[in-house]
Amino acid sequence: MGIRLTRRRAVAVLAMLVAVGVVGGAVALRMGKKPDATAKDKAPPALEFAQADLVHVESKPLARWLPVSGTLQPVNQATVKAKIAAEVKQVPVREGQAVRAGQVVARLDTADLDTKLVERVGALESARAQLALAEKTRTMNNKLLSEKFISQNAFDGSESSFNVALGAVKSAEAQVKLAQSAIHDAVIVAPLSGIVAKRHVQPGEKVAFDAPIVTVVDLRELELAALVPTSDVPELTVGMPVELAVDGFGERRFSGRIERINPATEPGTRAINVYVGLVNSEATLRSGMFATGRIALAQSHPMPTLPLTAVRTEAGQSYVWTIDSGRLVKRLVALGRRDEEAGRVELRTPLPPNVPVLAARFDNLKEGASAIVKGPSSSSNATSQPPPAAKQAS
């Protein structure tokens, strides 16, 4: 009897547990459905954009610019070299010092040259004495020949001796001039007015023939040699203006012009050197400075364009946000030429006709989000109070 009661109790307890589970499942199901309804009630509102926030693809010509870059070099510069081998006696100039054309920049020791000059002057005097004797002998033999006291052969011998003496005098005179010229070359002068860029020797050094002494540069006129693709050269002409920016001068710009165009391409390239000259009367710029610039070319034909502010770039890919059928659509685009002054860029990827494009950068935009374009009457409100999900980026 006790065993039967126990089994009945167990069955009753099991039935109660099943009933409790069913009730709990129903309650959980109702609670699970309730958040879905709440989420549906709290769906994000549609983004609102004013007409001023949108742009469209427009066909416009773009200004074309040819970029150039290179190192500034003086048009006039010279490295003064020694014309004789001698010891450096004096170098009265230093780097950065201004010099005039004809100013002494170095002196070489002339002790050996002075000795050679004295020796050659002595040789010249000896040759002149020999010439005088030969001339006297020839004159006397000429008289004797006329009186038939000597033969023609004897007179020809004296005539030959005179010619030899005359040649010796001319040779000695040349040697004297060479010695004098060497002494003159020992005083080295600047060939042009400018600034000493490099002093290659010091007093006391022994220099060989053609050894560099000083380098002088004239900074009043500089030029930039820029490599330009051959495809752009036909549009360039001598005299075209060039705007240059030089490293170290910030936003300051310098005006130049095309001075020369090389007639042949550089070896191993398909580019031609174009030389841009600029006046540097105040010596503000220095030789060796790096400069970049651009040359204005003829405007392009009309092409599809968008404002630069409408294009975003991420991970090397450019894209725009468009509104299509009330939804935000992110479209990848390929870009072409840029006109920085006009603030527009060529659009090589076709977009659907009359599709509006977001003109500025907005945060928190999502693909497929609802979007509404407000009319002109409401544009001021949309501008003054942008929706939280589409605040304009700073």
- Kindly state whether residue 192 falls inside one of the protein's structural domains: no
Total domains, the chain = 2
341 in a structural domain: yes
Contact 277, 75 (CB under 8 A): yes
In terms of Cα–Cα distance, which of 45, 53, 46 is closest to 376?
53
Output the domain CATH number for residue 339: 2.40.420.20
Q: Is residue 386 part of a domain?
A: yes
Of 78, 74, 84, 178, residue with least CA distance to 124: 178
Range of the domain at 386: 48-62+301-390
3-state SS of 104-172 is: EEEEECCHHHHHHHHHHHHHHHHHHHHHHHHHHHHHHHHHHHHCCCCCHHHHHHHHHHHHHHHHHHHHH
Residue 223 lies in a domain: no
Please report, for residues 114, 262, 276, 295, the alpha-carbon distance to residue 234 in angstroms, rounded to integers and kept in the order given. Answer: 61, 12, 16, 13
User: 240: which residues sit within 8 A by CB, 6+ positions away?
Assistant: 257, 258, 295, 296
Whole-number pLDDT of residue 381: 38
String of DSSP letters for 236-287: --TT-EEEEEETTSTT--EEEEEEEEEEEEPTTSSEEEEEEEEE-TT--S-T
- pLDDT for position 184: 92
User: pLDDT at position 216, please?
Assistant: 96
41-66 pLDDT, tens digit per residue, is 555 677 888 888 899 898 888 877 88
Q: Is 336 exposed, middle or buried (0-12, 13-18, 19+ CB in 10 A)?
A: middle
Shared domain check, 126 and 57? no
37 CB-near residues (< 8 Å, 6+ apart): none
Per the domain annotation, does 141 fall within a domain?
yes
Domain boundary among 132, 163, 184: 184
Which of 132, 166, 184 finishes a domain? 184
Question: What pLDDT shows up at residue 222?
Answer: 95
Predicted pLDDT at 20 = 58
- Shared domain for 311 and 385, answered yes or no, is yes
Residues of the chain under the 70 pLDDT cut = 1-44, 375-394
Secondary structure letter of residue 392 according to DSSP = B
User: Encoding tokens for residue 317?
Assistant: 């890919």
Q: In the prediction, which pLDDT does 51 show?
A: 84
Compute the distance between CA of residue 266 and CA of residue 269 in angstroms, rounded to an integer: 6
Q: Is 132 a member of any domain?
A: yes
Say what the pLDDT of residue 390 is: 47
What secondary structure, in 3-state letters, does 369-385 show? CEEEECCHHHHHHHHHC
User: Of the candidates 184, 205, 222, which is a domain's last residue?
Assistant: 184
